[in-house]
Structure 1
Amino acid sequence: MISSWTVVADRGDLTETEVLHDERPELAELSDCEVLLRVSRVGLTANNVTYGVIGDLIGYWRFFPAGSDGQGVVPVWGFADVVDSTLDALPTGTRVYGYLPMASHLVVRARLTSSGFVDTADHRADLPAVYNSYLVTSQDPAYDESLENLQVLYRPLFLTSFLLADRLVDNDFHGARTVVISSASSKTAFGTAQCLRDRGVRLVGLTSPRNVEFTESLGLYDTVLPYGASVDVEPSVYLDFNGSDDVRSALHDLLGTSLVKDISIGLTHQTASQDPRSEFFFAPEQLRKRTADWGSDGLAQRFGEAWRGFTAQAGSWVGVVEHSGPEELVEVWRAVVAGKTNPNTADVITF
């Protein structure tokens, strides 16, 4: 047997975590089409907190079930290596990118695709397909070994940014001339701003006073304001990346009918309640629409172009801090949940 570990969080209090040690099966114990992955590098951002906050609403807790009803395994994005396999097409040493648990190992039931494989495990069968697909790095045209840190930090976030921006453009911004973005210093927010540059709308970023200077330094927003400052009254879309009731109410009071659309994306304030004034953006829905519109290859081409443009700049915006092992993973997780991380740094954990 192979020694392994899993980090579990209390689903009612995400700061309460525990490292569980266990054993994983060797090749002789894998069933047909099963592959054993060893997790090697993951990113940790506020986006992972959202997975925990709305884990029951969207089904995020179901991807990597925990043994206890009150506990859950938070998903992360990253790289893993095949260490045992029943499939010749996925030999030992194959490196893959995808949706992973906060754990050292993962067993998947692989159905091969042109770019990698899909995990067809029974408990994931009715979950969004985007989270069940894994890319083999040797078959991924966007893969660059030197950019692995940027990929684990930004690629899943940037896909949300890309799809959100695309939805706004596809709907002609619902008639708005301004897009107001909260938590403007967060990675998904400024990725969205990058996608909306030169699209004919004014971009206003809202952030905490301590993050104003950093957010301005990105050069992505036309205006950066601290929370509580007044915005111009004109037809506007609000992109809510933090879930603050106070910020939402202040904008609705100020803009009135000029606020033509209110869209919730992130929940860094850690509340799963859905305000009826806002609609929730679920990226897989837009992904399905654009796959139907453009085809898989067309979507990959458009995203690839946007991704390359983003990574050309992102490396200079945020410094990467590397950590190692499950204990440091837990430390980073607690800091992210508590909102104690800096916007100008990002955390990568290797195992």
Structure 2
Amino acid sequence: MSNAAWAIDIDRDDVSKTEVVTAETAIGPGEILVHVDSYAMTANNVTYAVFGKPAGLFGNEQGYWDFFAERGVPGRLPVWGFATVLVSDVEGVAPGDRYYGYYPMASHAVLMPGHIGGGSFVDVTPRRTTLPPIYNQYQRVEAIPDYKPEHHDYWPVFRPLFLTGWLIADQFEDEGDYGVEQLLIASASSKTAIGLAHAMKQRSERPRTIGLTSKANAAGLADLGIYDQVVAYDDIATLDASVPSALVDMAGSGDVTRTVHNQFADALKYSMIVGKSHWDAAPEMGELAGPVREGFFAPGRSQKRIADWGARGFGERIAAAWLGFMEVAPSIATIDTRNGSDGALAAYHEVLSGAADPKTGIIVTP
């Protein structure tokens, strides 16, 4: 189906079951048709799949499947990427315009632009209006102030994940780092974790960052110089359990969570769960020592900071942080491009299985 309009359907009950199908290209009044030019496939997308069904993240009875599929049909995985408008009679959105934003894992997408202006629009498809606003905004490429052509492929690979990491670092600073001296970051080779560690490193006074990762990834991750220390999961017991610490868990692995909580116990002052890249790992069993884990939801933190600083102030801070990160991003990950529906399907299963190389950023060009 590489020459046809395609999409990948995912079983809502078993995210390992997928099928390539024909994508919808017919549009109705007020809608546009876009061609998805490129998108990233990362562990973040696995989290979207795991929380596809309603899980309380959005404060309502919706989940990530609701962005691009109606209830009762297979899910369409949300991805971050770039698309070009093919068909539009919507004023302010013209054929040929390119937009960065949230798309389905497909070659084409139908959107309904609203609130058009300033080089952006919001998708006002009815099922999306009660979903977090940050996911419904589309920015015209030429109007993005911190977009640079040489960073193009790194936008979908790193931008949403870096933003999440930056927001976590911002929360720690806002909360006085919860009184800890070191921050343990699980699944430290993930791009969100790297964004968090980079943001923390920009502060003159901060807790030490300790990246927790697999033994196979430990040496390479340490060489990047992003973390103050890198420790393999098997070596967590070597850490001084009396040091006031916090855990940020990007992995959702019960074994790692249990090990850290039980070792540090009362010295663990704060524990945050961010994603579930280890989607098939067994959850933690029984009562954990130390604090109750708290979830982190990037759209909620974004909305708080937009209220605090205004949209312009928030955007300026993100832009400055992003451009600083882009000075090192190419040394952290190289771009690995996959093509067509076959490449897209293979990339999804590669990331889902945990086999993707953390030193690459996978870009799919439909």
Whole-angstrom distance in 2 between the partners of 1:334 and 1:263: 27
Is the Cα contact below 8 Å between 1:142 and 1:304 reproduced in 2? yes
Alignment of 1:195-214 (within 5 A): 195-197=199-201, 198=203, 199-214=205-220
1:113-157 Cα deviation digits (max 9, x unpaired): 323000011010100000000001111111122211100100011
Whole-angstrom distance in 2 between the partners of 1:40 and 1:243: 31
Among residues 214, 235, 238, which one is paired with 2:247 in the alignment? Answer: 238
TM-score if structure 1 supplies the norm length?
Answer: 0.94
Stretches of 4+ aligned residues off by more than 6 angstroms: 272-276
Alignment of 1:64-143 (within 5 A): 64-65=68-69, 68-69=72-73, 71-111=74-114, 112-143=116-147
Deviation at 1:11, TM superposition (A): 2.0
Alignment of 1:220-259 (within 5 A): 220-229=226-235, 230=237, 231-233=239-241, 234-259=243-268
Describe the SS at the equivalent of 2:166: helix
Report sequence identity in percent.
Answer: 37
Deviation at 1:88, TM superposition (A): 3.2
2:294 is equivalent to residue 297 of structure 1: no
2:20 is equivalent to residue 14 of structure 1: no
- What letter corresponds to residue 47 of structure 1 in structure 2? N
1:215-244 Cα deviation digits (max 9, x unpaired): 101101111110031222211110001111
Higher mean displacement: 87-96 or 275-284: 275-284
Whole-angstrom distance in 2 between the partners of 1:23 and 1:235: 53
Whole-angstrom distance in 1 between the partners of 2:166 and 2:108: 30
Is the Cα contact below 8 Å between 1:185 and 1:211 reproduced in 2? yes
Deviation at 1:346, TM superposition (A): 1.7
2:353 is equivalent to residue 349 of structure 1: no
Whole-angstrom distance in 1 between the partners of 2:249 and 2:151: 29
1:9-39 Cα deviation digits (max 9, x unpaired): 12222221110014412xxx5303x221111
Higher mean displacement: 118-127 or 222-231: 222-231
Higher mean displacement: 111-120 or 320-329: 111-120
Tell me, which stretches of 5 or more residues in structure 2 are unaligned? 58-62
Describe the SS at the equivalent of 1:99: strand
Is the Cα contact below 8 Å between 2:334 and 2:361 reproduced in 1? yes
Whole-angstrom distance in 2 between the partners of 1:305 and 1:43: 22
- What letter corresponds to residue 146 of structure 1 in structure 2? E
Instruction: Give the number of equivalent residue pairs.
Output: 345
Tell me, which stretches of 5 or more residues in structure 1 are unaligned? none
- What letter corresponds to residue 262 of structure 1 in structure 2? S
Is the Cα contact below 8 Å between 2:83 and 2:100 reproduced in 1? yes
2:182 is equivalent to residue 185 of structure 1: no
Deviation at 1:3, TM superposition (A): 5.1
1:261-301 Cα deviation digits (max 9, x unpaired): 10001101216969883111001111011001000000000
RMSD of Structure 2 on Structure 1 (CA): 1.8
- What letter corresponds to residue 186 of structure 1 in structure 2? S
Alignment of 1:166-177 (within 5 A): 166-177=170-181
Whole-angstrom distance in 1 between the partners of 2:332 and 2:32: 37
TM-score if structure 2 supplies the norm length?
Answer: 0.91
Higher mean displacement: 15-24 or 325-334: 15-24
Deviation at 1:250, TM superposition (A): 1.1
- What letter corresponds to residue 99 of structure 2 in structure 1? V
Is the Cα contact below 8 Å between 1:3 and 1:23 reproduced in 2? no
2:163 is equivalent to residue 159 of structure 1: yes
Describe the SS at the equivalent of 2:5: strand
1:171-200 Cα deviation digits (max 9, x unpaired): 011111110001111111011000001342
Describe the SS at the equivalent of 1:228: helix
2:294 is equivalent to residue 279 of structure 1: yes
- What letter corresponds to residue 163 of structure 1 in structure 2? L
Is the Cα contact below 8 Å between 2:180 and 2:245 reproduced in 1? yes
Whole-angstrom distance in 2 between the partners of 1:23 and 1:114: 29
Is the Cα contact below 8 Å between 2:23 and 2:106 reproduced in 1? no
Is the Cα contact below 8 Å between 2:257 and 2:284 reproduced in 1? no
2:279 is equivalent to residue 270 of structure 1: yes
- What letter corresponds to residue 75 of structure 2 in structure 1? G
2:344 is equivalent to residue 329 of structure 1: yes
Whole-angstrom distance in 2 between the partners of 1:49 and 1:302: 28
Deviation at 1:319, TM superposition (A): 1.3
- What letter corresponds to residue 29 of structure 2 in structure 1? S
Whole-angstrom distance in 2 between the partners of 1:315 and 1:259: 34
Deviation at 1:87, TM superposition (A): 2.0
1:73-101 Cα deviation digits (max 9, x unpaired): 11100000011111232111000000000
